[in-house]
């Protein structure tokens, strides 16, 4: 462990503060579960209710299927996979917008490593994501539709997706200290971004021009297609397709880090 800690950037403070990261990430859930009989079950029930709602609505009521598929559950699975992953992505960004304001008290504490804050966001949203995914996976197992080893392909996609999310989040969160407009605009842009990503609709219904645009300019498109391929076709994503994404994620995180570093002293005085 020690060898790893000294080599990976930021690993040392993150490892040392792991207990804090976990307790801060689960803080909201712990507060919600206080004085409630079902406590920790509620997030699970929430996830189950949402997934069951989609299933009933699209499988039983609307009888929606993906074009070219004769599986009655295909569209519902398509939608759930998209929404679960998108929610993780967009909530990570949204929760980062007030990362400094919300944690002003911690930032005034001596020796507190600031790098833990974005990690807390990733972990806390990750817990929500894991609950949703777990409930959904249970349903897939129950209906005999769980994909095989291709599931492991989700891991690199998630890493790329969340690196992009947290880099954007920290970048916008830093700017948001100076301009509250950034936070407001981010909400609107994410709504548009959602509809420019194949989550609710399949790519095949788009005209070739629009499809090309969405694939070229929206990094989330390929990532979503990757998740869909895993869930519906049990196809491992071709990682070579994601080289550009990896570069984007690295560049964005570098930009976010430099911007944060340059502006932090002003942020401190502002808090």
Site of interaction with other proteins (CB under 8 A): 13, 16-20, 23-24, 27, 30-31, 34, 105-113, 175, 178-179, 259, 262-266, 268-270
Is-contact 9 119, C-beta < 8 A?
Answer: no
Q: For residues 63 and 109, which CB has a smaller minimum distance to other proteins in the complex? A: 109
Q: For residues 38 and 258, which CB has a smaller minimum distance to other proteins in the complex? A: 258
Give, in order, the Cα–Cα distances in Å from 231 to each of 18, 84, 218.
32, 12, 21
Q: For residues 17 and 194, which CB has a smaller minimum distance to other proteins in the complex? A: 17
CB of 175 to other proteins, least distance (A): 8
Q: For residues 13 and 156, which CB has a smaller minimum distance to other proteins in the complex? A: 13
CB of 150 to other proteins, least distance (A): 36
Question: Alpha helices, DSSP H only, in the chain?
Answer: 2-7, 11-16, 18-25, 27-33, 41-55, 74-96, 99-102, 104-107, 116-142, 154-178, 181-195, 208-217, 219-233, 243-270
CB of 105 to other proteins, least distance (A): 5
51, 44, 60, 118: which is closest to 84 by C-alpha?
Answer: 51
CB of 110 to other proteins, least distance (A): 4
Is-contact 25 127, C-beta < 8 A?
Answer: yes
Q: For residues 205 and 262, which CB has a smaller minimum distance to other proteins in the complex? A: 262
Is-contact 54 76, C-beta < 8 A?
Answer: yes
CB of 126 to other proteins, least distance (A): 19
């Amino acid at each position: 462990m020690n060898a790893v800690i000294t080599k990976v950037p930021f690993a040392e403070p993150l490892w040392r503060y792991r207990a804090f990261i976990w307790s801060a990430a689960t803080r909201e859930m712990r507060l919600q579960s206080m004085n409630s009989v079902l406590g920790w079950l509620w997030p699970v029930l929430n996830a189950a209710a949402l997934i069951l709602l989609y299933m009933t609505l699209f499988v039983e009521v609307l009888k929606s299927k993906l074009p070219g598929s004769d599986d009655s559950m295909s569209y519902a699975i398509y939608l759930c996979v998209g929404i679960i992953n998108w929610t993780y992505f967009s909530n990570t960004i949204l929760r980062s917008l007030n990362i400094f304001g919300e944690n002003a008290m911690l930032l005034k504490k001596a020796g507190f490593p600031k790098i833990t804050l974005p990690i807390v966001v990733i972990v806390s949203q990750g817990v929500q994501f894991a609950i949703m995914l777990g409930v959904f996976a249970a349903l897939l197992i129950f209906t005999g539709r769980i994909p095989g080893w291709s599931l492991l392909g989700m891991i690199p996609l998630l890493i790329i997706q969340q690196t992009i999310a947290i880099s954007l989040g920290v970048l916008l969160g830093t700017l948001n200290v100076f301009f509250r407009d950034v936070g407001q605009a981010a909400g609107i842009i994410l709504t548009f971004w959602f509809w420019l990503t194949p989550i609710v609709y399949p790519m095949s219904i788009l005209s070739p021009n629009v499809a090309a645009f969405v694939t070229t300019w929206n990094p989330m498109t390929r990532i979503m297609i990757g998740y869909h391929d895993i869930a519906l076709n049990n196809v491992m994503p071709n990682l070579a397709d994601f080289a550009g994404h990896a570069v984007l994620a690295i560049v964005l995180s570098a930009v976010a880090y430099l911007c944060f570093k340059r502006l932090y002293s002003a942020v401190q005085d502002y808090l």
